[in-house]
A and B are shown apart, each in its own frame.
Chain A
Amino acid sequence: MITNKKPRSSDTDSIYMKDDRTEMSEDDDRSPSPNSITHDSRPTRTYTTGSGPGTGPGSSSVPEYLAPCPDQVLENVLENVLLFLTSRKDRNAASLVCRSWYRVEALTRSDLFIGNCYAVSPKRATSRFTRIRSVTLKGRPRFADFNLMPPNWGAHLAPWVSAMALTYPWLEKVHLKRMSVTDDDLALLAESFSGFKELVLVCCDGFGTSGLAIVASRCRQLKVLDLIESEVSDDDVDWISYFPDTGTCLESLIFDCVECPIDFDALERLVANSPSLKKLRLNRHVSMGQLHRLMAQAPRLTHLGTGSFSPSEDVGQGEQGPDYVSAFAACKSIVCLSGFREIIPDYLPAINPVCANLTSLNFSYANVSAEHLKPIISNCHKLQIFWVLDSICDEGLQAVAATCKELRELRVFPFEAREDIEGPVSEVGLQAVSEGCRKLQSILYFCQRMTNAAVVAMSKNCPDLVVFRLCIMGRHRPDHVTGEPMDEGFGAIVMNCKKLTRLAVSGLLTDRAFAYIGKYGKIVRTLSVAFAGDSDMGLKYVLEGCPRLQKLEIRDSPFGDAALLSGLHHYYNMRFLWMSACNLSNQGCQQIAQALPRLVVEVIKHEDNLDMDENVDTLYMYRSLEGPRDDVPRFVSIL
């Protein structure tokens, strides 16, 4: 049907409202529809004016039919087509074609992704994209997680939520990573978006159980409340009890990082009242007995975080506990298990009934040995994601390699994150995994010793690797068999793993390693470097050789101003560059700032070193449309 598109103005908006509802998209409905329409099947958004089938009852528009000009026809067609574009990359490309495409793309985008909250202002984003349903915002740089950044650096949600409250009344989903979120922000969010459905907070802080309580009580359409590795302060508020008694639409409730105890009775009621609940990850204050009761209420769970996985203190030694094996047997849909925060290994066999179906298993807080692991893992044939502590030793990893042929992602965390200990996992485990798990795509491996040979083996055995992060915890450690730097190992990774986009290096590395990365790492987007390299050349190789590099984080490496300057051609293509404890001077950073006006160049000082001296402690720079931010704390200067 050919329709005419009128320019939008406030007095004609009401006209659009009264038109035939079947042709209007969800956006223009003033009441949220009960069946949410997914993006894929979104109805067309057309504006109709005039008589004919397009005019609904009560229309006050003048019944006139204007022949649409070809441009407008094209725009309508374009709109209908662009609706189906979901990939951000494709949308960004489409928006560059011409003004018309830019406009239409902006109107049809429903998911807003902001990789750096300071790259664009809330006002600019909300002015351009007016029909957003879902917002993803990322704040602090990753190295802030390791205490390399003083607190109160920024990344406040407040200005964003204020702007969105005004412009996105139909906002449904907010996904935040490394942002500072206050209870007031959560309150505003809960009040402003009546159809709010999903809140996901990853590595966030600044809020407490009061804020959670407000969200629980006000967001009646809430389906997802996921708190992942966030810091939640204890305000002595029983937030779980604030969910409505009458029932919720909750599908996912993840709160394993919340350190405060919760009222179990309230939780049990909540679970009983949430028939759609599929994902439940409990915190460590939930005992096994309590877990058992919850599992009885929610047999259709697919993702379960088991809480402490140990009995509460008042269960005596000889007492007959509940039948945990049956509880797990009854939950036939479980594919993802985590938790085990204070695991008593004797109870581990209880999970046997679900092992055969597990695709994801997170033991990374469970201090289990190889002996405990083996009988369990030998049943996990479908496992794709496995997070574990190095307490399982090389032997445990061998067991994983023997069974988990479908493994895509492995993370081995250190039980003791120190540099000077023996360490239970080594190149032996890595080699075994490379031989057994050929489909591996992502690995994070903490160890105390490693060899080039094992890394080379992995590069050849696992050609699908996309993410390779090896952390040899002793700084500057060479190959412990040959005594050589780890250059060849990492070189092999970039050379042989043609799909590699993320790399984290460690151990003793010379400039040669970086030469390899620059030469072969053509699609590397994220690179993490620590205590590595010999000279400016190292960094130069990377900046000159890796055209896809987006995120570069470097600490304690001897790269100076000359190296920094060699990346001038590329910095506008990057999301950020972080360099701390390197050889940078104020002058060098100043040169960058002058050469690239659209780059925000932040020099972050240690709090007890606020005098301006020539050396730069930390450089954090990022492209931005806004220039220097206005919420700069005193320990940051923007050049």
Chain B
Amino acid sequence: MATSVLGTDRADNYKETELCLGLPGAAVAKNEVETATKATGKRGFAETVDLKLHLQAKDGVMDLNENIKSITSNVKNHLPAVTIKDPAKPPAKAQVVGWPPVRSYRKNVMSQKNAGEEGDQKASTGGSSAAFVKVCMDGAPYLRKGMIDFMNERKLMDLLNSSEYVPSYEDKDGDWMLVGDVPWEMFVNSCKRLRIMKGSEAIGLAPRAMEKCKSRT
């Protein structure tokens, strides 16, 4: 993270003296609105699916993932920093991780308020409009309520494919299906609850999925 800051440079252009958490050799982003794709903003440790019972979107986690996906506008109310909510305002300056030093909890609460006002929504609706589903995992004593991150299909499948566990879900009809058998959107729209079961128990779920696909698409 070497910086070529000398006293004299400072007067010219603050951007040159900006220190970010970039990789060595990765030049400070001058033109990019968001540093999300760089090491700075993309704190990849915010996984939305973690089979060790962190299967939830903690607000902070959601926050960080939003950083990554904020290019797409299908984003819920969370992050003030990088998303461009109001087209009339100039694009946000590149934000640095953890600056200003406000705790995630507070940041999230504020950003919900922010969005609430801009969208002329009643502030007391509070939470996002994303779906919460109950998640239960075989062998684990506690249920969790998790939020489906709509954008994270790939991650979910990668993670789960590499383990012996199989994600199944209960859809609106009350049928238990395998995640991945129906198109992601259909899954997201119909999923009521999620169960992560051991592979051996998941036999017999696949056929139903085929029928559903045919009847709906």
| Chain A residues with a Cβ under 8 A of chain B | 143, 145-148, 150-152, 183, 203, 205, 208, 210, 229, 231, 233-237, 257, 259-260, 284-285, 287, 308, 310, 312-313, 341-342, 364-365, 367, 413-420, 446, 471, 473, 475-476, 508, 510, 528, 530-531, 534, 555-558, 580-583, 606-609, 613, 615, 617
Q: Which of A417, A418, A581 contacts B1 (CB 8 A)?
A: A581
Q: Is the pair A147, B106 in contact by a Cβ cutoff of 8 Å? A: no
Stretch in B14-22, B155-163, B178-186, B201-209 touching the partner: B14-22
Q: With a CB–CB cut-off of 8 A, which chain A residues contact B45? A: 150-152, 607
Complex Cα spacing A152 to B99, Å: 21
Q: Quick one: closest A residue to B114, CB to CB?
A: A416
Complex Cα spacing A420 to B93, Å: 6
Q: Quick one: closest B residue to A471, CB to CB?
A: B100
User: Is B110 in the interface zone, CB < 8 Å from A?
Assistant: yes
Mark contacts of B176-201 with chain A using CB atoms, 8 A cut-off: 1 yes-contact digit, 0 otherwise.
Answer: 00000000000000000000000000
Q: With a CB–CB cut-off of 8 A, which chain A residues contact B39? A: 606, 608-609
Q: Which of A148, A236, A260, A473 contacts B143 (CB 8 A)?
A: A236
User: What distance in Å separates the Cβ of B136 from its nearest Cβ neighbour in chain A?
Assistant: 10
Q: Is the pair A229, B105 in contact by a Cβ cutoff of 8 Å? A: yes
Q: With a CB–CB cut-off of 8 A, which chain B residues contact A607? A: 43-45
Q: With a CB–CB cut-off of 8 A, which chain B residues contact A203? A: 103
Q: With a CB–CB cut-off of 8 A, which chain B residues contact A312? A: 124
Q: Is the pair B98, A147 in contact by a Cβ cutoff of 8 Å? A: yes
User: What distance in Å separates the Cβ of A288 from its nearest Cβ neighbour in chain B?
Assistant: 10
Q: Is the pair A534, B103 in contact by a Cβ cutoff of 8 Å? A: no
Q: With a CB–CB cut-off of 8 A, which chain B residues contact A205? A: 58
Chain B residue total in the interface (Cβ 8 A):
62
Q: Is the pair B126, A617 in contact by a Cβ cutoff of 8 Å? A: no
User: What distance in Å separates the Cβ of B208 from its nearest Cβ neighbour in chain A?
Assistant: 26
Q: Quick one: closest A residue to B23, CB to CB?
A: A609
Q: Is the pair A417, B102 in contact by a Cβ cutoff of 8 Å? A: yes
Q: Is the pair A530, B21 in contact by a Cβ cutoff of 8 Å? A: no
Q: Is the pair B7, A418 in contact by a Cβ cutoff of 8 Å? A: no
Mark contacts of B135-160 with chain A using CB atoms, 8 A cut-off: 1 yes-contact digit, 0 otherwise.
Answer: 00000011111000000000000000
Q: Is the pair B98, A475 in contact by a Cβ cutoff of 8 Å? A: no
User: Is B130 in the interface zone, CB < 8 Å from A?
Assistant: no
- With A147-B104, A530-B101 known, 11 other A-B pairs at CB within 8 A are A146-B104, A147-B60, A147-B64, A183-B141, A210-B141, A233-B144, A234-B144, A287-B124, A476-B14, A556-B1, A581-B19
User: What distance in Å separates the Cβ of A183 from its nearest Cβ neighbour in chain B?
Assistant: 6
Complex Cα spacing A183 to B7, Å: 52
Q: With a CB–CB cut-off of 8 A, which chain A residues contact B5? A: 534, 558
Mark contacts of B66-99 with chain A using CB atoms, 8 A cut-off: 1 yes-contact digit, 0 otherwise.
Answer: 0000000000000011000000001011011111
Q: Is the pair B81, A418 in contact by a Cβ cutoff of 8 Å? A: yes
Complex Cα spacing A386 to B100, Å: 21
Q: Is the pair A313, B124 in contact by a Cβ cutoff of 8 Å? A: yes
Complex Cα spacing A608 to B97, Å: 15
A-B pair number, CB within 8 angstroms: 175
Cβ contacts A to B, 14 pairs, < 8 Å: A148-B98, A152-B45, A205-B58, A231-B59, A233-B58, A235-B144, A237-B143, A257-B105, A415-B113, A416-B80, A475-B14, A476-B17, A556-B19, A606-B39
Complex Cα spacing A581 to B92, Å: 23
Q: Is the pair A417, B107 in contact by a Cβ cutoff of 8 Å? A: yes
Q: Is the pair B110, A415 in contact by a Cβ cutoff of 8 Å? A: yes
Q: Is the pair A419, B93 in contact by a Cβ cutoff of 8 Å? A: yes
Beyond A210-B142, A342-B126, A583-B1, whether A617 also contacts B14 by CB under 8 A is: no
Q: Is the pair A475, B99 in contact by a Cβ cutoff of 8 Å? A: yes
Beyond A146-B103, A208-B144, whether A582 also contacts B1 by CB under 8 A is: yes
User: What distance in Å separates the Cβ of A456 from its nearest Cβ neighbour in chain B?
Assistant: 22
Q: With a CB–CB cut-off of 8 A, which chain A residues contact B6? A: 534
Q: Is the pair A583, B93 in contact by a Cβ cutoff of 8 Å? A: no
Q: Is the pair A557, B123 in contact by a Cβ cutoff of 8 Å? A: no
User: What distance in Å separates the Cβ of A339 from its nearest Cβ neighbour in chain B?
Assistant: 12
Q: Is the pair A583, B2 in contact by a Cβ cutoff of 8 Å? A: yes
Complex Cα spacing A237 to B96, Å: 37
Q: Which of A145, A313, A473 has the most CB of B within 10 A?
A: A145
Beyond A147-B43, A284-B126, A418-B81, whether A259 also contacts B59 by CB under 8 A is: yes
Complex Cα spacing A555 to B92, Å: 22
Q: With a CB–CB cut-off of 8 A, which chain A residues contact B122? A: 313
| Chain B residues with a Cβ under 8 A of chain A | 1-3, 5-7, 10, 14, 17-21, 23-24, 39, 42-46, 54, 56, 58-60, 64, 80-81, 90, 92-93, 95-107, 109-110, 113-114, 117, 122-124, 126-127, 132, 134, 141-145
Q: Is the pair B21, A617 in contact by a Cβ cutoff of 8 Å? A: yes
User: What distance in Å separates the Cβ of B28 from its nearest Cβ neighbour in chain A?
Assistant: 11
Q: Is the pair A235, B142 in contact by a Cβ cutoff of 8 Å? A: yes
Complex Cα spacing A414 to B110, Å: 9
Q: Quick one: closest A residue to B80, CB to CB?
A: A416
Q: Is the pair A146, B124 in contact by a Cβ cutoff of 8 Å? A: no
Complex Cα spacing A419 to B35, Å: 15
Complex Cα spacing A319 to B81, Å: 39
- Complex A-B, nearest 10 residue pairs according to Cβ-Cβ distance, in ascending order: A146-B98, A556-B19, A420-B93, A234-B145, A150-B45, A342-B124, A417-B102, A473-B100, A210-B142, A342-B123
Q: With a CB–CB cut-off of 8 A, which chain B residues contact A231? A: 58-60, 105
Complex Cα spacing A367 to B124, Å: 13
Q: Is the pair B81, A417 in contact by a Cβ cutoff of 8 Å? A: yes
Complex Cα spacing A342 to B114, Å: 12
Q: Is the pair B142, A183 in contact by a Cβ cutoff of 8 Å? A: yes
User: What distance in Å separates the Cβ of A561 from its nearest Cβ neighbour in chain B?
Assistant: 12
Complex Cα spacing A446 to B100, Å: 9
Q: Is the pair B134, A236 in contact by a Cβ cutoff of 8 Å? A: yes
Q: Is the pair B44, A608 in contact by a Cβ cutoff of 8 Å? A: yes
Complex Cα spacing A365 to B114, Å: 12
Q: Which of A342, A367, A475 contacts B96 (CB 8 A)?
A: A475
User: What distance in Å separates the Cβ of B55 from its nearest Cβ neighbour in chain A?
Assistant: 9
Q: With a CB–CB cut-off of 8 A, which chain A residues contact B64? A: 147
Q: Quick one: closest A residue to B17, CB to CB?
A: A476
User: What distance in Å separates the Cβ of A499 from its nearest Cβ neighbour in chain B?
Assistant: 24
Q: Which of A420, A473, A583 has the most CB of B within 10 A?
A: A420
Beyond A234-B56, A416-B114, whether A208 also contacts B21 by CB under 8 A is: no
Q: Is the pair A419, B95 in contact by a Cβ cutoff of 8 Å? A: yes
Q: Which of B46, B90, B101 contacts A471 (CB 8 A)?
A: B101
Beyond A150-B45, A606-B39, whether A613 also contacts B145 by CB under 8 A is: no
Q: With a CB–CB cut-off of 8 A, which chain A residues contact B93? A: 418-420
Q: Is the pair A615, B24 in contact by a Cβ cutoff of 8 Å? A: yes
Q: With a CB–CB cut-off of 8 A, which chain B residues contact A581? A: 1, 19-21
Q: Which of A237, A341, A414 contacts B109 (CB 8 A)?
A: A341
Q: With a CB–CB cut-off of 8 A, which chain B residues contact A508? A: 10
Q: With a CB–CB cut-off of 8 A, which chain A residues contact B97? A: 146-148
Q: With a CB–CB cut-off of 8 A, which chain B residues contact A285? A: 126
Q: With a CB–CB cut-off of 8 A, which chain B residues contact A606? A: 21, 23, 39, 43
Q: Is the pair B109, A365 in contact by a Cβ cutoff of 8 Å? A: yes
Q: Is the pair B100, A235 in contact by a Cβ cutoff of 8 Å? A: no
Complex Cα spacing A617 to B180, Å: 38
Q: With a CB–CB cut-off of 8 A, which chain B residues contact A558? A: 3, 5, 19
Beyond A146-B99, A365-B109, A476-B17, whether A615 also contacts B134 by CB under 8 A is: no
User: What distance in Å separates the Cβ of A609 from its nearest Cβ neighbour in chain B?
Assistant: 6
Q: With a CB–CB cut-off of 8 A, which chain B residues contact A583? A: 1-3
User: What distance in Å separates the Cβ of B50 from its nearest Cβ neighbour in chain A?
Assistant: 9
Q: Which of B3, B20, B23, B80 contacts A417 (CB 8 A)?
A: B80
User: What distance in Å separates the Cβ of A12 from its nearest Cβ neighbour in chain B?
Assistant: 43
Complex Cα spacing A148 to B41, Å: 11
Complex Cα spacing A508 to B43, Å: 27
User: What distance in Å separates the Cβ of A425 from its nearest Cβ neighbour in chain B?
Assistant: 13
